């Protein structure tokens, strides 16, 4: 589930493999205490036991709170709310990106800045980025979830709402908000993403800085050296990769080049070429169908098998679960084609450190027998913030949101004027990229809402004098421009909120991942692999789920544009 829905967030996640690993490790070690018992089970039991004990204490409270919220006259409630302390707890993605000298996710210069300037005291609860599903579930089930729950995964919002863990927010916006209310009126396109089936809004979000996401980088210096031109079709990409493999592009006299390095984007991009992203729904002739059964998916399987057989990718990718080997291949100059995404600053600068002459380009969308599909285009909304049912002071929450969208997002994006940036022609230009990366870049995580717009011109203008930064900005601009000028096929803007599907999605994902890996590494034909996937789908009750998704689609297709 996690992966499927978060594919829309690859953007942020794959860059920080390092941090994910750390986060995961922390998470696992936390789980270690229960090792004597049945680890996973006892974790679950612990969570459930927590509820058992806490339910007794908290259910009374919440019931009366809800009743008040429902029945209390607005004015009464407002005054009651005003007398409450302006405090709120909120979740924050932990990507392990806060440097030791900066403090922690709970306490650093930016959390202090928020507390000093927003008029709201915020306690942050870190959620390991790669374990959000289990972490959120445990916190919610044990009644310890923060008051504001921020996620990129809309499916969580759907589930939390149906579980009754979060509450609708229309009234709060109406009553307390000014700035965010105005922002939402300016951007009505956000509303469908925030509104659930019951017609109520359950989350707060602003627009994404850019909707670009996945990208392929290529060593332009290698292309030049071997006299090759930029590939425009998938077949040409294969030819280029073979040339990289055979013709010693790095000139070290050894045939040690592994042409293509992966990240979480590898599956995504190779699926997207053929308009069949694993696990997503498509509409073919008015019928909803899982990507695997579109008839196009075989082509993606074939490509991955070919890449493995021809040694165009690392043969040990299967055990490289965090993609650390892959990243190393790229940053040490052993790979020439990198399946990555728009936020790749670290890997790019690491490569530059190892090989100052490395010259990079962005591979344009590639043509296949099915036409040319663009790179992934994100949903318009950024982070989704939901309000816990036990939220004590909604006014404080709204105040924080209003402050963030008004002014708070700017320092959290650019840093402090004079220290991290300088205004030039109305655009904040970063002074020292390294300093910015350490002291400011992690702060963007705290922007529950923001108004940053990453246009190509803006990205280029923001980069400082340093030629390296300029190059990176140029690459980014190209990616953003590509995302704007090519169509990306996405038939469902978000996962259809159908319970029959979401209950089997995680289990199904485990299956198709296995079949995919096996198909890539062995000689089984794509048709056989798809047959296996279909069998797994059917044994999980996939046909029923398809029927339900079809019904949902038929009822909602006018809204899905």
Partner 1 sequence: MSSMRGERMLGRAALPAASVPKTRRSRLRDVYRDRYLYVFLLPALAYFIVFKYVTLFGETIAFKNYRLLDGIWGSEWVGLKHFRTLFNSEDFWHVLGNTLLLNVYHLAFAFPAPIVLALLLNEVRAEWFKRAVQNLLYLPFFISWVVLGGMIVSLLSPSTGVVNALLGLFGVEPIYFMTSSVWWPVVFIVSTIWQSAGWGTIIYMAAMAAIDPGLYEAAKMDGAGRLRQVWHITLPGIRGTIAVLLVLQMGKMMDVGFEHVYNLQNAAVFSVSDVISTYVYRIGLQNAQYSLATAVGLFQGVIGLILVLIVNKTVKKLGEGGLW
Binding site for partner 1 (CB under 8 A): 1-2, 25, 28-29, 31-32, 35, 38-41, 43-49, 51-53, 55, 59, 133-134, 137-138, 140-141, 159, 163-165, 315-316, 318-319, 321, 389, 502-503, 505-507, 510-511, 513-514, 516-518, 521, 539-540
Residues in the chain: 561
In whole angstroms, the minimum distance from the beta carbon of 491 to partner 1 comes to 24
| CA separation for the pair 18, 119 (Å, rounded) | 35
Secondary structure letter of residue 522 according to DSSP: S
Q: Which residues, 6+ apart, have CB-to-CB distance to 475 below 8 Å?
A: 217, 348, 360, 361, 362
* Parallel, antiparallel or unpaired: strands 421-424 and 371-372: unpaired
DSSP 257-322: ---EE--THHHHHHHHHTT--TT-EEEETTEEEEGGGSSSHHHHHHHHHHHHHTT-B-TTGGG-TT
- Of 210 and 502, nearer to partner 1 (C-beta) is 502
In whole angstroms, the minimum distance from the beta carbon of 373 to partner 1 comes to 25
Q: Which residues, 6+ apart, have CB-to-CB distance to 90 below 8 Å?
A: 122, 123, 124, 125, 146, 147, 148, 150, 385, 400, 448
- Of 502 and 550, nearer to partner 1 (C-beta) is 502
In whole angstroms, the minimum distance from the beta carbon of 135 to partner 1 comes to 9
The pair of three-digit structure tokens given for residue 492, joined into one six-digit string: 């469902």
- Give the angle subtended at the CA of 157 by the CAs of 151 and 159, to the nearest 5°: 130
- Of 53 and 551, nearer to partner 1 (C-beta) is 53
| CA separation for the pair 332, 334 (Å, rounded) | 6
- Of 112 and 315, nearer to partner 1 (C-beta) is 315
- Of 117 and 507, nearer to partner 1 (C-beta) is 507
- Of 121 and 503, nearer to partner 1 (C-beta) is 503
CB atoms within 10 A of CB 75: 9
In whole angstroms, the minimum distance from the beta carbon of 318 to partner 1 comes to 4
In whole angstroms, the minimum distance from the beta carbon of 69 to partner 1 comes to 14
- Of 138 and 269, nearer to partner 1 (C-beta) is 138
In whole angstroms, the minimum distance from the beta carbon of 303 to partner 1 comes to 17
| CA separation for the pair 404, 118 (Å, rounded) | 8
- Of 28 and 67, nearer to partner 1 (C-beta) is 28
In whole angstroms, the minimum distance from the beta carbon of 534 to partner 1 comes to 14
DSSP 335-365: -SEEEEES--HHHHHHHHHH-TT--EEEPPP
Among the listed residues 489, 500, 487, 511, the one whose alpha carbon sits nearest the alpha carbon of residue 279: 511
In whole angstroms, the minimum distance from the beta carbon of 209 to partner 1 comes to 29
In whole angstroms, the minimum distance from the beta carbon of 336 to partner 1 comes to 19
| CA separation for the pair 253, 250 (Å, rounded) | 8
In whole angstroms, the minimum distance from the beta carbon of 447 to partner 1 comes to 27
Among the listed residues 185, 213, 169, the one whose alpha carbon sits nearest the alpha carbon of residue 482: 213
- Of 57 and 73, nearer to partner 1 (C-beta) is 57
- Of 11 and 516, nearer to partner 1 (C-beta) is 516
The pair of three-digit structure tokens given for residue 489, joined into one six-digit string: 């096929």
């Amino acid at each position: 589930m996690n992966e499927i829905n978060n594919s829309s967030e690859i953007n942020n996640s794959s860059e920080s493999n390092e941090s994910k690993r750390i986060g995961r490790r922390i998470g696992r070690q936390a789980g270690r205490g229960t090792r004597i018992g049945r680890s996973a089970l006892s974790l679950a039991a612990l969570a459930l036991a927590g509820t058992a004990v806490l339910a007794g204490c908290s259910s009374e409270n919440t019931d009366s709170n809800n009743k008040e919220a429902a029945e209390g006259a607005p004015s009464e409630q407002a005054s009651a709310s005003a007398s409450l302390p302006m405090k709120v707890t909120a979740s924050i993605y932990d990507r392990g990106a806060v440097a030791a000298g900066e403090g922690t996710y709970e306490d650093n210069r930016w959390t202090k800045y928020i507390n000093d300037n927003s008029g709201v005291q915020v306690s942050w609860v870190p959620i390991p980025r790669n374990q959000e599903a289990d972490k959120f579930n445990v916190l919610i089930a044990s009644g310890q979830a923060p008051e504001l729950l921020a996620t990129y995964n809309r499916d969580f919002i759907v589930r939390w709402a149906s579980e009754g863990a979060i509450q609708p927010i229309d009234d709060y916006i109406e009553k307390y908000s000014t700035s965010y209310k105005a922002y939402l009126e300016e951007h009505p396109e956000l509303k469908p993403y925030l509104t659930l089936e019951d017609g109520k809004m359950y989350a707060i979000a602003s627009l994404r800085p850019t909707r670009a996401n996945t990208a392929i980088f290529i060593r332009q210096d290698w292309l030049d050296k071997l006299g090759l031109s930029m590939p425009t079709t998938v077949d040409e990409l294969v030819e280029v990769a073979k040339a990289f493999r055979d013709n010693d592009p790095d000139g070290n006299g050894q045939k040690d080049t592994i042409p293509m390095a992966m990240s979480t984007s590898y599956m995504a991009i190779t699926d997207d070429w053929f308009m069949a992203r694993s696990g997503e729904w498509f509409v073919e002739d008015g019928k909803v169908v899982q990507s695997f059964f579109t008839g196009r998916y075989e082509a993606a399987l074939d490509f991955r098998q070919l890449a493995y057989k021809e040694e165009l990718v690392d043969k040990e990718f299967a055990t490289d679960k965090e993609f650390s080997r892959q990243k190393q291949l790229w940053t040490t100059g052993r790979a020439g084609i990198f399946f990555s995404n728009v936020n790749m600053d670290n890997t790019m600068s690491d490569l530059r450190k190892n090989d100052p002459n490395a010259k990079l380009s962005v591979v344009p969308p590639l043509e296949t027998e099915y036409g040319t599909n663009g790179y992934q285009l994100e949903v318009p909304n950024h982070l989704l913030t939901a309000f816990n049912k036990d939220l004590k002071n909604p006014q404080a929450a709204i105040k924080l949101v209003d402050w963030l969208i008004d002014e708070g997002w700017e320092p959290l994006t650019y840093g402090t004027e004079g220290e991290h940036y300088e205004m030039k022609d109305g655009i904040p230009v970063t002074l020292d990229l390294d300093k910015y990366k350490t002291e400011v870049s992690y702060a963007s995580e705290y922007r529950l809402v923001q108004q940053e717009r990453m246009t190509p011109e803006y990205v280029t203008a923001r980069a400082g004098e340093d030629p390296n930064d300029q190059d990176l900005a140029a690459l980014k601009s190209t990616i953003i421009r590509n995302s704007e000028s090519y169509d990306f096929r996405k038939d469902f803007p978000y996962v259809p909120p159908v319970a029959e599907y979401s209950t089997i999605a995680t289990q199904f994902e485990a299956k198709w991942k296995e079949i995919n890996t096996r198909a890539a590494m062995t000689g089984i034909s794509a048709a056989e692999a798809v047959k296996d996937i279909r069998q797994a789908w059917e044994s999980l009750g996939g046909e029923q789920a398809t029927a339900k998704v079809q019904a949902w689609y038929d009822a909602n297709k006018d809204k899905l544009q």
